[in-house]
Amino acid sequence: MNKCFRVLVALGLAVTAVAAQAQTYPKGLLDKTIAVVGNEMVSISSLEQEIQINRMNSPLSSDKNLRCEVLERMLETKLFLMQARIDSLKVNDDMVNTNLNMRIDQVRSQLGGDEEAEKYFGKPLHKLRQEWRKALEEQSLFQQEQGQIAGSVPEITPSDVREYLAKTDSVDLPLVPVKYKLSQICVYPDREKANLAVKDRLLALRERIIAGEKFSTLARIYSEDPGSARRGGELGMASKSIYVPAFADMAMSLKPGIISQIVETEYGFHIMEVIEKKGDMVNVRHILLKPQYTDEDRQKAFKTLDSLKTEVNNEAVSFPLAARFYSQDAATRTNGGQMADQNTGSAFFEIDQLKPADYAAIKGLKEGEISEPFESTDNEGQGHTVYKIIRVDKLIPAHTATFENDYDSLIEGVKNKRTMEAINTFVDKKIKDTFIYIDPIFKECEFSREGWNEAAKNSEE
């Protein structure tokens, strides 16, 4: 169940141990400073930490090329850090503390607790906290300095966009993908009936466990969480913070060996048993069951939706009016069924912003046409089953961006282009104005910026 419950934390810095890779450096070298940028230094150990993360994401990367690429990124980061200190930027302590706690919880959960984490890294947890706090403080300053440079870019005006269009070859202009403006009418199955049925199933399983059957055996057979079901429902030792609140609260309140009452989360309904607890760490096994809907639910909903589609096509009622009266989706029915992207608020959807079932239903439809009834999911939690019809209100075919139709997209593109130009100008100037040393063991590197290559050459001399 790890996938279902655990919060995936996007961390920009490596959290894995420094591997024993001294053999990749001359004469059994273990650690030393390999680069200096102003008063900022890069060591072999810090480089190897970054290498570890890259290897997890791209295990087939060339060892030599990967080290050069990662080193160049670290060198550029040091330029920003140096400037951040000159600009007297302050570390965002709240962000650092939040990210540090998330990192610690993630590592403890992945490795199985404090002792296992300390053994894996070869350091006490308090030492790891110190090192990671420093790295996250540097990350905070780096991000702020980049933000300042981006903020110095003047606001983009319509004349800037026109100039960009005039100076850019048409083949190099952005291609705007097909976009849809959509309205929907939704009908839900009988949730209460399905929830009662799944609770009855879980209560029956709970009674069998209390009567002597093994929790792990029943979890393998019945749990609808494939990840943990294979392990008899066991989730492994993990921090309570990575679980959704209802699940975490129940797990922390139970004594080992006691079977819980039913717990409802956004993933479904659970019963659980605590295997072990240490402080805020807990190892539980659980059985997850999700509400199931019948063919009768589907047929009833499809009949209603098909009738509404017929009424709209016969102009007996408008689609917006039908949505207001009959749709059971609270987010769209007040707007006459008009859909909006939940992340951007835009009324237009690109293909990859649509649920697969939704796109499959409207693919090939023309403006004004309505899909056949189909089954999909809503935007609540992990997505509840819903039956719907969708009307294509407007369809904009894929096309090369134009000032008239795609101004918002173009202005964002010009802004990003100007921002990258400002950052590149900053980096190139700083390389020229800053003392830089790069160890000769990296003399074979071909950095993407000529300034780093020149600095490496001068370091040799």
Q: How is the chain split into domains, by residue range?
A: 2-154+419-460, 179-189+294-397, 192-289
**CATH code given to domain 192-289:** 3.10.50.40
**CATH code given to domain 179-189+294-397:** 3.10.50.40
Contacts of 126 (CB under 8 A, 6+ apart): none
User: Could you tell me the CA-to-CA distances from 103 to 120, 275, 343 in Å, in that order?
Assistant: 15, 24, 26
Q: Residue 354's closest CA among 179, 193, 209, 94?
A: 179
**CA 26 to CA 21: how far, in whole Å?**
11
Same fold flag, 179-189+294-397 and 192-289: yes
Residue 9: the pLDDT is 27
Architecture of domain 2-154+419-460: Orthogonal Bundle (1.10)
Please list the rounded mean pLDDT of every run of 10 residues in the chain (461 residues): 35 32 50 89 83 58 73 92 92 90 80 78 81 86 92 92 91 90 95 93 96 95 93 91 92 93 94 92 94 92 96 96 95 94 88 94 96 92 88 94 88 91 94 92 90 87 65
Helices 450-460 and 407-433 sit at what angle, rounded to 10 degrees? 10
**CA 460 to CA 283: how far, in whole Å?**
55
